[in-house]
Structure 1
Amino acid sequence: MYINGAWEPAESGATFAVTNPATGEKLADVPDGGRAETVRAIDAAHAAFRGWAGLTAYQRSEFLYRAWTLMLERKEHLAQTMTREQGKPIRAARNEVQYGADFLLWYAEEAKRVYGETIPAPRGDQRFIVLRQPVGVVGAVTPWNYPVSMLTRKIAPALAAGCTIVLKPAEATPMCAIEMFKVLHDAGIPKGVVNLVTANDPAPIGEEFLSNRKIRKLTFTGSTEVGKMFARGAADQMKRVSLELGGHAPFLVFDDADPVHAAKGAAMVKMLNTGQACISPNRMFVQRSVVEPFLDELVSRVTRMRAGNGMEDGVAVGPLVDDGAIEKVDRQVKDAVAKGAKLLCGGHRLMDNGLDRGTFYAPTVLADVRPDMLIYREETFGPVAPVIAFDKEEEALEMANDTHYGLASYVYTQNLARGMRIFEGLDFGIVGINDINPTAAAAPFGGSKQSGLGREGGHEGIGEYLETKLGGFSV
């Protein structure tokens, strides 16, 4: 763990094992921290806050620039650590490291753009000045599916704003977090500004984040269920919260789009990170007249995707995170087939060619999916593409919005007017129009409804770590 600028074990000496989900191989033993370590990390962050917040924006920016430079120098090492620990193909891991570095660069620049303002006063002897100042100590919890970029997406804006931070990474991917904190340490960030507590049981750390009055802001990426728990707990002390939660993304294909081109995009984004992404399309609504060519191309592309160890050449699909994920995906597929869906490919755990040592599920396509099926309602987080035919635009929009989630969505159409109507009509925080990657460090990322609160990335991202202060001067 990394507390107050030093690396240390758990006070108890306890550790927990980290394994490779592709092979079952044990990779390392990591300190198993708890509440005591979390309290010390919070105290360190609290003690460092005034000094860090008191630096100029240019000084904080320089630290982030150094971290960005070091991260890119260590890109291959970070990517290989990620592939071994999380399982995604090495090419995808390299892309994630680059994406993660982008947040350090963006907020190194954005730190210098935290502007105040003056407001005309109603009295001649009065002046109003507005400052934006850092919230304070931040408690952060990050997920296993993007174990590098989700760290920088939180750490970079927090530090740029002048906040200090205590971070708890996912128990499945602590090695990626450790390597990233080595980058921050080597960048010279002052002791106490960034702190890392690793643990196999997240509950004591989350409880301390909620109860400790020195934590003024919580940022969490993960399940909607846990996010709601954080929101409820934060209310007791009115802590600021940013929550990036589950998704149930619709993927709409209209008859004026090229169905083959749309299917290519659908296959790529659906199987990204083996479907283990909150922006992964979970329901594919295709206009009836183009369903057949769409399905033909989708099945063709999905069946050619090779599953395996992400360190091997040609692997496009990695393992699921654990056996529980396999069981959830398989339960949804079996439920759909039992209720009349057509299984066009996949639909089973992969056990051949050594894949039995890992947690692999065959890339799967289902047709004739209906609203009474589990997969229509539940987030899958796996490599399954359910396809639903529709007839009219209004019907597609209604079905797409028929969910408690509201994170990402996708639309394929060549009709500009239709694209604008659907963009405005979809009740989702992110809409990709003929675009399967509508994300960047410079763009706001977040959802509506039960997909979360707040935004990460863009100039909105730093605003989540700032308070607005009004000064009224009598002159």
Structure 2
Amino acid sequence: MHFGSNMMLSFNSTKLVSKLYELSYFGSSIARKLPQGNLSTFNCRCFATVSPTSSFLLDKAFINGKWVEPSAGGKFPVTNPATGDVLGFAPECTEKDALSAIAAANNAFQDWKNTSAKLRSSLIRKLYELQLKNLNSLAELISLEMGKPLRESKGEINYGASFFEWFSEETKRITGQVFPSPFPNSMTLYVREPIGPVGIITPWNFPNAMITRKLAAVLACGCTAVIRPAEDTPFSALALAKLVEEAGFPPGVVNVIPSSRDQASAIGSILSTSPEIAAISFTGSTNVGKILLSSSASTVKRVCLELGGNAPFIVFDSADIDAAVQGCIASKFRNTGQTCVSANRIFVQSGVHDKFVNALATEMAKSLKVGDPLDMSTTVGPLVNSKGLEKVKVHVEDALSKGGKLIVGGKHLHGNFFEPTLISNISENMKLCSEETFGPLAAIHPFETESQVIAAANSCRAGLAGYFYSSSIDQIWRVSKALQVGMVGVNAGIISCCEAPFGGVKESGLGREGSHLGIDEFTNVKYICLGSLN
């Protein structure tokens, strides 16, 4: 999820946001050397191997305000998906480190929960300022760790910073209420109190913003945090820890314990079963979310889950086709299709089907450029790893073997790079209809009637985001209500912002992040009855 970039926005906001991203770019501080070979027929240049000099490549865990070696002394390699080179070695934390971080967070909570809202607000605001101050370095780090095009990485840093700004302001608006008492000579009221230390587990596709969206709300409420970032992108999380240190947060308020996949299950189990962790906030796969939900039941802790999506993108006959094409490009191909709110099932009504497919193919060839993620002209980078690449390949091969028509792309290019691909004549027996592709593959499903497409859109257990294009106000209202999702984009392919509640229904999650509702996940409501008031 997840905003990340406004590479292709519908309507007049495209040029504005694009310009903002360009203005935030002051050049790369990283030396490059060019390898041999072209990547793509999409008119891209060779990608560059880089030798990072950033001060944010940190190889220690951050526990109780100190940079420490992991207890077992291990390190694990982090690979640049664009080149295959090892970017650096991150600390291999274990259960022992998780327990140390939990203890630090619990000790710090005893004082942090009693700090003034004004103090917390000023410290969170400092994080906002520091993130923007370090925008270039943080964005480069994202592009190096997970292959996101630099223009989108810069967008993610801005987006991630917006949560620090938003919740620095919301900190001072966490209120209770006095309400009329049914009892004589008494007063009744409720207050909101911080829930306690929070375990934060985040994915690789938005390695900055998925932490800041959670952490900003946690800190605003007066809670502390233990963060376990994805193994593909640990350096972005450690970079945030460095900002926390520079901002002057007390020791133990924020702790970061990276690990490889080998230790992920053990650390997740410690966080979800520890009685000292009051809540789990997780973004990731539905399967892992279910495991965390089950294990968290042992201590009946609060669980906020943002899980997988399988977003429908519907184009009705009355749609503005040019706007729908731009929205589809933005929703489907940003971050190389690796977003949980990405359009995964594209339904196009028969009356405009051919027109839309032709226009989308033309725009893909014109606008999507595969290449070096650190090149500001690149719009499509690599898949994050070979596992992600293999899933795209399987979905393409399966669709074509079952009658799909290849319109654009369809080829594995080099390493983790895959061509932006467009396939039409999709049928429900194809894997991409029931599985989230998480890659640069647009699949077009033809449909005839509104009732037919609503049934198809709601036929899966995922319910995170949905999009549709229509110029009929009656239809807009009907379809908005009928779609079984937590978020709807009407004539818009990009919908995320810090002011709006982010989350899904069915097996796409529990709770909401962002907006004023993000506070609810990390506070308890305490009712107080004051009696015998004479």
Q: Same fold (TM over 0.5)?
A: yes
Once residues 48 and 343 of structure 1 are traced to their aligned partners in structure 2, the CA distance between those partners, rounded to angstroms, is: 57
2:27 corresponds in structure 1 to none
| 1:34-433 paired onto structure 2 within 5 Å | 34-200=94-260, 201-304=263-366, 305-351=368-414, 358-433=415-490
Q: Please, which runs of 5 or more residues in structure 2 have no aligned partner?
A: 1-60
Tell me how many residue pairs correspond in the alignment.
469
Once residues 67 and 258 of structure 1 are traced to their aligned partners in structure 2, the CA distance between those partners, rounded to angstroms, is: 41
Once residues 375 and 313 of structure 1 are traced to their aligned partners in structure 2, the CA distance between those partners, rounded to angstroms, is: 31
**1:282 alignment partner, SS class:** strand
**Residues 438-466 of structure 1: CA deviation (Å, up to 9, x unaligned):** 11111100000000000000011111000
Once residues 324 and 464 of structure 2 are traced to their aligned partners in structure 1, the CA distance between those partners, rounded to angstroms, is: 20
> 1:256 is matched by which residue type in structure 2?
S
Once residues 500 and 245 of structure 2 are traced to their aligned partners in structure 1, the CA distance between those partners, rounded to angstroms, is: 27
Once residues 258 and 383 of structure 2 are traced to their aligned partners in structure 1, the CA distance between those partners, rounded to angstroms, is: 22
2:67 corresponds in structure 1 to 7
**2:379 alignment partner, SS class:** strand
> 1:311 is matched by which residue type in structure 2?
L
Tell me, yes or no, if the aligned pair for 1:442 and 1:459 is still in contact at 8 Å.
yes
**Residues 64-90 of structure 1: CA deviation (Å, up to 9, x unaligned):** 011111111001110011111111111
**1:472 alignment partner, SS class:** strand
Q: 1:132 Cα shift?
A: 0.5
Tell me, yes or no, if the aligned pair for 1:264 and 1:297 is still in contact at 8 Å.
no
> 1:205 is matched by which residue type in structure 2?
I
2:77 corresponds in structure 1 to 17
1:466 pairs with 2:523:
yes
Once residues 65 and 323 of structure 1 are traced to their aligned partners in structure 2, the CA distance between those partners, rounded to angstroms, is: 39
Once residues 265 and 512 of structure 2 are traced to their aligned partners in structure 1, the CA distance between those partners, rounded to angstroms, is: 25
Once residues 376 and 194 of structure 2 are traced to their aligned partners in structure 1, the CA distance between those partners, rounded to angstroms, is: 46
Once residues 268 and 474 of structure 1 are traced to their aligned partners in structure 2, the CA distance between those partners, rounded to angstroms, is: 58
> 1:371 is matched by which residue type in structure 2?
E
Percent same amino acid at aligned positions? 41
**2:172 alignment partner, SS class:** helix
Q: 1:329 Cα shift?
A: 1.1
Once residues 438 and 376 of structure 2 are traced to their aligned partners in structure 1, the CA distance between those partners, rounded to angstroms, is: 24
> 1:348 is matched by which residue type in structure 2?
K
Once residues 379 and 481 of structure 2 are traced to their aligned partners in structure 1, the CA distance between those partners, rounded to angstroms, is: 34
Once residues 391 and 30 of structure 1 are traced to their aligned partners in structure 2, the CA distance between those partners, rounded to angstroms, is: 52
Q: 1:126 Cα shift?
A: 2.2
Q: Please, which runs of 5 or more residues in structure 1 have no aligned partner?
A: 352-357
**1:315 alignment partner, SS class:** coil
**Residues 289-313 of structure 1: CA deviation (Å, up to 9, x unaligned):** 1011110111112233111221124
> 2:265 is matched by which residue type in structure 1?
A
**1:372 alignment partner, SS class:** coil
Q: 1:313 to 1:73 in 2, by over 3 A?
A: closer
> TM-score, normalised on structure 2?
0.87
1:457 pairs with 2:514:
yes
> TM-score, normalised on structure 1?
0.98
2:42 corresponds in structure 1 to none
**Residues 141-198 of structure 1: CA deviation (Å, up to 9, x unaligned):** 0000000000100100000001000000000000111111111110001100000001
Instruction: Spell out structure 1 runs of 4+ moving beyond 3 A.
Output: none
> 2:277 is matched by which residue type in structure 1?
I
